[in-house]
Structure 1
Amino acid sequence: MAKFVIAGKSDCPHYAKAELLADQLQQCLPNFTVHKITVLPDQWKEWLEDTCKRNCWKHDESPLVWRELVYQGGKGMLLGGLSDFLEHCQDYYKVTSDMLTDMMLSVAAENHETKMSLIAEEQHRVSLIKPLHIWISSALSQTCHLLIPNLLSAEMFPHVSAVCLHLLDLEGDREELQELKMQTEDLALPLLHQVKIHTDLEEAFKGAEIILLLGESDVDDAESEKFKEMSDRYREYGQLIETWANKEVKVIVSGDSFVNLRCSLLLEKACSIDSSQFVAVATQLENKARSVIAEKLKVKSKDVTDVLVWGNISGSFYIDLQRAKVFNHAGAIRGPAFFSQPVLKILQERKWVETDLQDLVRRHRTAVASKTCRAAAMGDANGILSILKALNGNCRADEVFSLGVLCPGFYGLPEGIVLSVPVTFRDGKWSMLFDVTVGDELKKKLQIFASELTQEKDLGAEKKDN
């Protein structure tokens, strides 16, 4: 079977002549098929360069004709332009074209009009769809790769019919982003409407309704040049969110480096957006603490709930078990599956709770931050998805989360500090959990955490001034 592809500018008379000759052959020859690609004149040069580069061809005019090797696989065989196609048809099929110039121009004009009409129809169809615009930074990270399949699910967004996904990576290669775009499209996810890639901040966060700012894994020292770059970048992000994003945007900051600080830098610039819409993910610490406690009590991680994380998510923090419960514990008292007991009642080792538990979680966090690994990305992605579900109203009213949020004056904390505190969600909005005991010892810890965060913020401001 002979399958030919003819591509050309929509207003090109030579393309018109080639396609009509191909139509004639297709009608006469049962094994001859043709596929036409019509490109707008202002897009032709870029399209031609990309196609030739991909196939290692050399061609610089309209039309471009090649033959697909249907039964052999691999790339097509380039024929060339109109004259090459006419010669091929004459030699192989003893058919040529005697189309007059006036006819060629008329068909070319009709082609162009048809193309513009199809574009207008598509634009109208797209205008009727109101997709949810989600932006992801550091889109080439492992976390993003793990996020995408779960992010674009009906479970995550039960009341959304379409999602436009924006992949942003300022330091990434455009070809890699293009490959990620194609891979995402190939998943055929039901909510996916469109994928757009971005390698600069020209239109960053335009129309954004959800923004996921993933980890800055290469920033691990507040004295480094990378720290200054990160601080400047997040202030710029904040300004762009203020300028371009939807005023109801939900912003989630995650990762292992300066998570609280990055969130607070956004808030400095995004002044007209409600600060409650900016949160930092502490779920990875919460889950690690649950895992450590579960191992100690010989239960599964899911059997430990309501562990609280206070403080600086990527700095000094405190694991608080005052509300923690354990299910399915094989102790002296047993009950049905819904029966739980306070962890502190069973785990009466104060030294282990106040020292060993804190150290084990801290060492794990340090180990994860010190290297790039799939396990860290999995934890990060899982934490983001958990918070997104809660923001979308998909969680229990009594479910407790540890979340980095702006704490204006709570517990005597200074203004402008983003601190991890226990929260609950109701109708997609978080509220601080005040049904906890904040004694003198915990208050002292909170002041230490706040002082650390203030120093980070001041250091970022000093580097900016320098």
Structure 2
Amino acid sequence: MMLSEEMSDIAEENLQAHIETEEEEEEIKSLIRPLQIWITSASAPICYQLIPLLASGEVFGMTTEISIHLLDTHQFKEVLCGIVMEAEDMAFPLLYSISEHTEIDEAFIQADIIIVLDDVLLNHEVQSLENYIREVSEICQVYAPLIEKNAKSEVRVISSGKTFVNLKAMMIMTYGPSIKPANVIAVATPWEHAARAMLARKLNMNTAGVKDVIVWGNITGCNYIDLSHAKLYGYDWAIWGPANFPCPLLNVIYDSEWIHSAFLSAQSSLSSRVCHSVGMLPAHGVATVLRHWYHGSPPGEIISVGILTEGQFCVPEGIVFSMPVRFQNGNWEVVTELEINETTQEVLGRLAHELIQEKLIALKEIKEMHPYGADKITSKNYLHQEMETLPTGSL
């Protein structure tokens, strides 16, 4: 019933309306500023577990879109392409884009967040510890200038993985002097979470109720898991109170023999469990730190991260040392009001020694590690040597 000329006019109007609609959508998209997240060594299993956590909205909020950039060497290009396709197929509403990169010169362009996962495959029969430290230093010598050149001025750098997380953070700050030290941290939460889970199993309670377990020192080396400030929430014991009423953990675990034997023995294998994990535990640790960094820690709760020291707790300045912090308003602050006894202070001094040695080797100021005191202490036996001398209240 309609003339061809009328139909042509309507078709032309529809086409024009369609073009205008597309232009409006493109303009709206151009106004969107998603968070630019770069992940190094993105072929690692932790990255595969981390992407769904970042894209789900639980970390940055349900209104924040993100773009993820996966960086690795040419030999892993096919792996990266597979991760990109799978992430796209999952159709995360907040995943604005995801891409793979194998050209190092393109790294960290407009980055808001950089997650450094680079690990070295430790085999002491092939190489010495000192050679591995120098290898980590060389990686950071490449990354740091690129971060300064390509990333945003307020970029936040997170060092994670299974080896040398403190050292990676330290070297990025050293070789990238314009990067704000407060914006570079190392993740200790996998060790903290595993210790909390162990304690919850002992007490037959929910892990969420175990708070303020502190990881001191070299996160992936010699560290000290401190229970003296740990608290329990919602635990069924002699004293009843509201849901937010805490009780000191060491007032509940009367079995000091368990703390000095089973708990310490389990700690000696903790690093092995974390390092052999398929990626869920360290990925959850990174996501937890980012969530606290962007939205703040729960009221009164502390979390352990590796930060550049400024003399807190009498730890020497200028090393990345894991200690308790609180996140608030996009920043963090060290919980310096915690009291520590002389024995714990001695332990922190020994832990700091290892990190100082790593830094000096990385900077080629010394050639080999020098032990603290007469006997050489390794990460496997250090915990037992030190903890056996600590009173229960200092654990």
Using structure 2 for the length normalisation, give the TM-score.
0.79
Per the alignment, do residues 275 and 174 of structure 1 end up closer, same or farther by CA in structure 2, a change over 3 Å counting? same
Query: For the Cα contact (< 8 Å) 2:120–2:136, is it kept in 1?
Result: no
Partner SS for 1:211:
strand
User: Hey, what's the Cα distance between the residues in 2 that align with 1:450 and 1:403?
Assistant: 15
2:218 aligned with 1:315: no
Residue matched to 1:173: 76
Shift in Å, 1:403: 0.7
**CA deviation vs aligned residue, 1:294-315 (integer Å, no higher than 9, x gap):** 2222222222111111111011
Per the alignment, do residues 270 and 152 of structure 1 end up closer, same or farther by CA in structure 2, a change over 3 Å counting? same
Residue matched to 1:329: 235
Residue matched to 2:199: 293
Partner SS for 1:392:
helix
Residue matched to 1:145: 48
Amino acid at match of 2:264: Q
Partner SS for 1:231:
helix
User: Hey, what's the Cα distance between the residues in 2 that align with 1:219 and 1:464?
Assistant: 21
User: Hey, what's the Cα distance between the residues in 1 that align with 2:176 and 2:164?
Assistant: 19
User: Hey, what's the Cα distance between the residues in 2 that align with 1:122 and 1:327?
Assistant: 49
Shift in Å, 1:252: 0.9
Residue matched to 2:16: none
2:268 aligned with 1:362: yes
CA RMSD of aligned residues (A): 2.7
Residue matched to 1:187: 90
Amino acid at match of 2:298: R
How many residues of Structure 1 are paired with residues of Structure 2 in the alignment? 344
- Taking every aligned residue pair, what percent have the same amino acid on both sides? 36
**CA deviation vs aligned residue, 1:136-192 (integer Å, no higher than 9, x gap):** 112112111111112013332237543221001126421221121111111111122
Per the alignment, do residues 294 and 129 of structure 1 end up closer, same or farther by CA in structure 2, a change over 3 Å counting? closer
Matches within 5 A, 1:283-432: 283-335=189-241, 337-350=243-256, 352-353=258-259, 356-369=262-275, 371=276, 373-374=277-278, 377-432=279-334
**CA deviation vs aligned residue, 1:176-224 (integer Å, no higher than 9, x gap):** 2112111111111112222221113111111110111125152465537
User: Hey, what's the Cα distance between the residues in 2 that align with 1:244 and 1:465?
Assistant: 33
Amino acid at match of 1:128: L
Matches within 5 A, 1:27-46: none
Per the alignment, do residues 262 and 449 of structure 1 end up closer, same or farther by CA in structure 2, a change over 3 Å counting? same
Which 4+ residue blocks in structure 1 deviate beyond 6 angstroms? Answer: 119-125, 463-466
Per the alignment, do residues 304 and 215 of structure 1 end up closer, same or farther by CA in structure 2, a change over 3 Å counting? farther
Partner SS for 1:135:
strand
Shift in Å, 1:368: 3.6
2:95 aligned with 1:206: no
Partner SS for 1:315:
coil
Residue matched to 1:277: 183
User: Hey, what's the Cα distance between the residues in 2 that align with 1:351 and 1:260?
Assistant: 32
Shift in Å, 1:269: 1.6
**Larger deviation, residues 272-281 vs 455-464:** 455-464
Residue matched to 1:247: 153
Say which of 152, 164, 174 aligns to 1:258.
164
Per the alignment, do residues 223 and 234 of structure 1 end up closer, same or farther by CA in structure 2, a change over 3 Å counting? same
Residue matched to 1:439: 341
Shift in Å, 1:447: 1.1
User: Hey, what's the Cα distance between the residues in 2 that align with 1:355 and 1:423?
Assistant: 29
**Structure 1: gaps of 5 or more residues:** 1-118
User: Hey, what's the Cα distance between the residues in 1 that align with 2:123 and 2:332?
Assistant: 30
**CA deviation vs aligned residue, 1:8-39 (integer Å, no higher than 9, x gap):** xxxxxxxxxxxxxxxxxxxxxxxxxxxxxxxx
Query: For the Cα contact (< 8 Å) 1:131–1:164, is it kept in 2?
Result: yes
Shift in Å, 1:255: 1.6
Using structure 1 for the length normalisation, give the TM-score.
0.68
Per the alignment, do residues 443 and 188 of structure 1 end up closer, same or farther by CA in structure 2, a change over 3 Å counting? same
Say which of 91, 111, 132 aligns to 2:35.
132
Amino acid at match of 1:387: V
Per the alignment, do residues 142 and 465 of structure 1 end up closer, same or farther by CA in structure 2, a change over 3 Å counting? same
User: Hey, what's the Cα distance between the residues in 1 that align with 2:273 and 2:55?
Assistant: 31
Residue matched to 1:76: none
**CA deviation vs aligned residue, 1:294-338 (integer Å, no higher than 9, x gap):** 222222222211111111101111111222112343433344544
Report which structure shows greater RCO (CA 8 Å, sep ≥6). 2
Shift in Å, 1:433: 0.2
Per the alignment, do residues 465 and 236 of structure 1 end up closer, same or farther by CA in structure 2, a change over 3 Å counting? farther
Residue matched to 1:113: none
**Structure 2: gaps of 5 or more residues:** 1-21, 369-395
Residue matched to 1:54: none
Amino acid at match of 1:428: G
Per the alignment, do residues 128 and 326 of structure 1 end up closer, same or farther by CA in structure 2, a change over 3 Å counting? closer
Shift in Å, 1:357: 2.6
Query: For the Cα contact (< 8 Å) 1:298–1:329, is it kept in 2?
Result: no
User: Hey, what's the Cα distance between the residues in 2 that align with 1:146 and 1:137?
Assistant: 14
User: Hey, what's the Cα distance between the residues in 2 that align with 1:333 and 1:159?
Assistant: 39
User: Hey, what's the Cα distance between the residues in 2 that align with 1:245 and 1:201?
Assistant: 13
- Greater Rg, structure 1 or structure 2? 1
